Amino acid sequence: MLELFKALADPTRLRLLNILQQGEFTVQELLKILKMGQSRISRHLKILLEAGVLSVKREGTWAYYRLQPTDSLCGLLLPFLKPEFEQLAEAVTDRAAVLSVLAARRERSQLFFDRHARDWDHLARRLLPTPHYVDRLLTSLPLSSCLLEVGVGTGGLLEALRRKSDRVIGVDHAPAMLAAARQRLKGFDPDGIDLRLGEMEHLPLESSSVDTAVLNMVLHHASDPSTVLREIFRVLRPGGVLFIADLLRHQEEWMREKLADQWLGFTPEELFGWGRKAGFNSVMSEPLVGAKLDYTVILTELKKP
């Protein structure tokens, strides 16, 4: 108890807790938010880690710090402390800095996909061999009146999704990707397919407006996956289902540069954890392993009560 209270008894460490309750950040990102030196921030993070207040997730050469206490007493106290964090003198400026860091993540992704829209399909096939999971994904989708694909890309799934739903809404944050998707639809009856420009963290849809949502190899590009799941929960109708197809956690660091990946895949536990916080019920998570050189894909299903 004494070690925990000592760890909390510092204004900078309280600021760190307030920042990390808004997402996961690297040391480099925390430097930008707090405008402090690396040695100082690293020392504070070390104290919080040793006290069981934070945990760290290592992805290749990057380490993401998160507010996920391993100390049971801290876990009990945090719900009572979080409202008090907003009273910190720097809370407003820290929140603005957090939004700036998340915006930089999104901008990096958008610039990449605008630049590579024309050759994206070829690039992904060449650099990202995966097992043939799409048929399994499509088979899992129920028939619905309105289906949302978040991160529609060049529209490779649109025709198949249209056969599963009366209406398909495709959202992407890269104008060049949407242009490629519209070009693809020229040889297909586009009735019932609505393409929209928008961020996955701020979907251009009304609340409780879709029956099914699909995230196909998209979540690892998100600036904050937990925010994406909360936003999809918002637009799903009660009883609606979210299907996620993404890479299992790996250590291929080169994907950050070559494919603009923000995250090196996910574990089922991470996806279920974010889903629970958003309000979903966990349904299933199924790993699909292909040939020897293929990356493992996990299909995850989450349901809105």
What tens digit of pLDDT does each residue of 250-301 get?
A: 989 999 988 989 999 999 999 999 999 999 999 999 999 988 889 999 999 9
Q: How far apart are CA 10 and CA 18, in angstroms?
A: 13
Point out the least confidently predicted range of 61-65, 94-98, 268-272.
61-65
State pLDDT tens for residues 150-199: 999 999 999 999 999 999 999 999 999 999 999 998 877 668 999 999 99
pLDDT at 189: 65
Whether residue 57 has pLDDT greater than 90: no
pLDDT at 257: 86
State pLDDT tens for residues 214-248: 999 999 999 999 999 999 999 999 999 999 999 99
Length of the chain, in residues: 305
Question: Model confidence at 92, in pLDDT bands (50, 70, 90)?
Answer: very high
DSSP state of 151: S
> Residue 238 is encoded by which pair of tokens?
């009660």
By C-alpha distance, which of 300, 153, 161 is closest to 225? Answer: 300
| 174 burial level (CB within 10 Å; 0-12, 13-18, 19+) | buried
Residue 61: partners with Cβ closer than 8 Å, 6 or more residues away: 253
List residues bridging with 236 in a β-sheet: 210
Whether residue 128 has pLDDT greater than 90: no
- DSSP state string for 5-42: HHHHSSHHHHHHHHHHTT--B-HHHHHHHHT--HHHHH
Q: Higher confidence at residue 113 or residue 279?
A: 279
Residue-range domains of the chain with CATH:
2-89 (1.10.10.10), 120-303 (3.40.50.150)
> Residue 301 is encoded by which pair of tokens?
């299903």
Strands laid side by side in the 168-172 sheet? 193-197, 168-172, 147-150, 210-216, 236-247, 297-303, 281-288
CA 116, 121, 127: angle at the middle one, nearest 5? Answer: 90
In percent, the amount of the chain with pLDDT more than 70 equals: 99
Average pLDDT for the chain: 93
pLDDT at 162: 95
List residues bridging with 80 in a β-sheet: none
Q: How far apart are CA 57 and CA 51, in angstroms?
A: 17
Region of 217 on the Ramachandran plot (φ > 0 left; ψ -120 to 50 alpha; else beta)? left
- For the residues 12-29, what does the mean pLDDT come to? 94
